[in-house]
């Protein structure tokens, strides 16, 4: 297997300014792995889809991607998310719409011993892994050693507790390589709408040779994204929350 430097991103949510900043800061990468929710909430769905397509890309669907394409019922979304999804559906090009429609529920990269999913291994689109208990229940629902997930917009590493059935949550340190050598569930955080009270864009870089992961947070021009959201008349609460990272 060849050595690769892989950018792992999730929950971009049509925030092109954040995505471009992440791509600049990540530097040269061989592949991009995206854990879903490319669109929804933000002002630049077409541009985000087209930017991702320029890379060698492994990508799965998120609930917002499925909602925008009509594959999921928007009645299950909050009213702001619902409004943003309808706006996104209206502005997407036909080609980009169809591209989103064909995203898989999950990806298993056997050669990398990695699974990619938006929600959780047992419920790929909808389940939120927000606790060690839920992480533990999912630990045996994937065959590979490692599973990357998104959906919660909160960066975290869940590792198997000893050889037992439990899982422990480990905070991902910034700019510090972490060795992934067991059974692990990892969330790189959200590019376009962080929810851990840190408004900076989040991403991770996976080194396939050393099997290390480095988590990064980068400030981006939030005001530029907010101005574009106002222009698009997206819900005010979605605009404000970017300031707080919630
Ligand atoms: Zn999301």
Q: How far is the CA of 162 from the centre of ligand 1 (A)?
A: 31
Going from the C-alpha of 61 to that of each of 9, 49, 149, 166, 237, the distances in angstroms are: 13, 12, 11, 28, 25
Mean pLDDT across 189-205: 98
Q: How far is the CA of 14 from the centre of ligand 1 (A)?
A: 10
- Report d(CA 46, CA 130) in Å as an integer: 30
- Report d(CA 229, CA 215) in Å as an integer: 28
Q: How far is the CA of 2 from the centre of ligand 1 (A)?
A: 32
Give per-residue pLDDT as tens, 104-159.
Answer: 999 999 999 999 999 999 999 999 999 999 999 999 999 999 999 999 999 999 99
- Report d(CA 38, CA 237) in Å as an integer: 19
- Report d(CA 246, CA 232) in Å as an integer: 21
- Report d(CA 48, CA 66) in Å as an integer: 16
Q: How far is the CA of 212 from the centre of ligand 1 (A)?
A: 25
Q: What pLDDT is recorded for position 1?
A: 59
Report the share of the chain in percent with pLDDT over 90.
96
Q: In what order do the strands lie in the sheet with 57-59?
A: 57-59, 31-34, 5-9, 201-207, 212-218, 178-179
Q: How far is the CA of 164 from the centre of ligand 1 (A)?
A: 31
Q: How far is the CA of 58 from the centre of ligand 1 (A)?
A: 17
Q: How far is the CA of 38 from the centre of ligand 1 (A)?
A: 8
Q: How far is the CA of 226 from the centre of ligand 1 (A)?
A: 17
Q: What pLDDT is recorded for position 223?
A: 98
Give per-residue pLDDT as tens, 142-157.
Answer: 999 999 999 999 999 9
Q: How far is the CA of 1 from the centre of ligand 1 (A)?
A: 32
Give per-residue pLDDT as tens, 218-227.
Answer: 999 999 999 9
163: pLDDT confidence band, cut at 50, 70 and 90? confident
* pTM of this structure: 0.97
């Amino acid at each position: 297997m060849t050595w690769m430097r892989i950018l792992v991103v999730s929950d971009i949510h049509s925030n092109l300014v954040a995505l471009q900043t992440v791509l600049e800061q990540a530097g040269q990468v061989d592949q991009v792995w995206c854990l879903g929710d490319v669109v929804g909430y933000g002002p630049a769905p077409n541009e985000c889809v087209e930017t991702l397509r320029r890379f060698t890309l492994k990508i799965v669907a998120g609930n917002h991607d499925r909602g925008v394409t009509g594959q999921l019922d928007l009645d299950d979304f909050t009213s702001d998310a619902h409004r943003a999804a309808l706006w996104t559906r209206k502005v997407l090009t036909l080609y980009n719409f169809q591209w989103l429609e064909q995203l898989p529920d999950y990806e298993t990269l056997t050669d990398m011993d990695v699974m990619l999913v938006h929600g959780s291994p047992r419920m790929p689109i909808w389940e939120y892994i927000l606790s060690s208990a839920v992480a533990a229940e999912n630990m045996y629902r994937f065959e590979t050693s490692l599973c990357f997930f998104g959906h919660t917009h909160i960066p975290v590493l869940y590792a198997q507790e000893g050889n037992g059935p439990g899982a422990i949550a480990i905070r991902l340190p910034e700019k510090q390589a972490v060795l992934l050598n067991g059974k692990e569930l990892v969330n790189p955080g959200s590019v376009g709408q962080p929810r851990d009270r840190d408004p900076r864009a989040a991403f991770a870089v996976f080194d396939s040779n050393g099997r290390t992961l480095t988590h990064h947070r980068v400030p981006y021009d939030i005001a530029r994204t907010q101005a574009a959201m106002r222009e698009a008349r997206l819900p005010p609460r979605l605009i404000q929350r970017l300031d707080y990272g919630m």
